Structure 1
Amino acid sequence: MVLGFDEIEAVRLKDLLSFPQEEAARVMGVSQPTFHRILKEARRKIADALINRKAVRIEGGAYAYDSHPFRPCRWMRGWGMACEELALMAEEELKRRQPKGGDRMKKIAITSTGDTLESLVDERFGRAKKIILYDLDSGSFEVIDNSLNLSSTQGAGIQMARNVIECGAKTVISGHFGPNAVRVLQAASIELYQALGMSVHEAVERFKDGRLQRLYGPDKGPHW
């Protein structure tokens, strides 16, 4: 049984990362009908392999795999380069883009209802108004607007998780987390903490003192 790289990518985006079909198609650079066809065929092959005990081989041309858990694989055809060379290029690019380890560890992302540390923690992770990115060493912070995500009919948690990953934080504090957001955050090794009915400042202080509850899974269902 042979699975193409495009089929694996479709399954990864839709079934592993729970992307809405429209966004998954956009990431792959194909139309929604084409994405649906690719995904349907991939699922059929996987079901056939599992039920009938068939070996699965993945192939389909030169490609570069970006090991970041959220970024899509990038399909590169006709370059005349070995897959190993392309993979090394992707790995080096990822290292260049990512913040240094110490920088990641000292930054925490807190969902907020406003622009200051006295603002309340926004308890809806996916549709929080703001993200406050707080530096534990210096006490400085920056505010990231999330207003474009507030009206999303679906995929808000995934998009917010994507924003947190791009910020370079390794810890996120919010009120409640749905399963799709948790799946993406945990794939990026980001720790989740819960803060209810308190200001951002209080949440930060409790986190420093080890008095915030850590979550190891979602505490709400999808689309809550």
Structure 2
Amino acid sequence: MSNTPIELKGSSFTLSVVHLHDAQPEVIRQALQDKIAQAPAFLKNAPVVVNVASLDGSVNWKTLQQAVVSTGLRVVGISGCRDEALKKEIERAGLPLLSEGKEKLPRAATVTSPEPLAVTEPTAAAVTKTRLIDTPVRSGQRIYAPHCDLIVTNHVSAGAELIADGNIHIYGMMRGRALAGADGSRDAQIFCTNLVAELVSIAGEYWLSDQIPADYYGRAARLSLAGGALSVQPLN
């Protein structure tokens, strides 16, 4: 047991980033409520970073922050701020100003994960092993496969979450959320024998259930990135 009362360690977390393209609080509040209603298990009360890079002109940060918080989201930081006056206002609100790396992560009201600028771009070669799950993945369960692929040979319930730095394979009914390439690897793919997912994501690019093309919903499918966006094809 350590003699020191605390330890300071580096770690990484998957955070959604809300990219604001409008400075009207009521517009932002309604847009966020609509997104949360589409995937409440994924977004309700979620910690988020707010990106303000697209906002121009005068911004009332206090009312804007209140609009975001009123939806139940927890603001843990601000990114993309270049206006010095707005920076001071954000700092007075007690919120940290963050930097984002090159990689894009979930676009919800657009969503991504903040990363250190010095991080080197991950490659598929970093995946060296596989995590295998043979049992059903129940609602509320979260399974993470760091630095490897994840294979599930059973059903995944709604409200369950699969996360892998590599590929994800689901040999069963997929009703939950699957996030492949969580470390930013854009070569990752998702393979599923029955795609009825709440959310699918590769390196931060994602679809909610209603964005999955109807021809592939409930079918065997393979998802990958093409031209920087999600694409899907039959799983042969």
Both proteins in one fold, TM over 0.5: no
Larger gyration radius, structure 1 or structure 2: 1
Q: Tell me which of the two structures has the higher relative contact order, counting C-alpha pairs closer than 8 angstroms and 6 or more residues apart.
A: 1
Higher percent of residues as helix: 1
Give the number of the structure whose residues are more often strand, by fraction: 2
Coarse TM-score class (shorter-chain normalised): 0.3 to 0.5
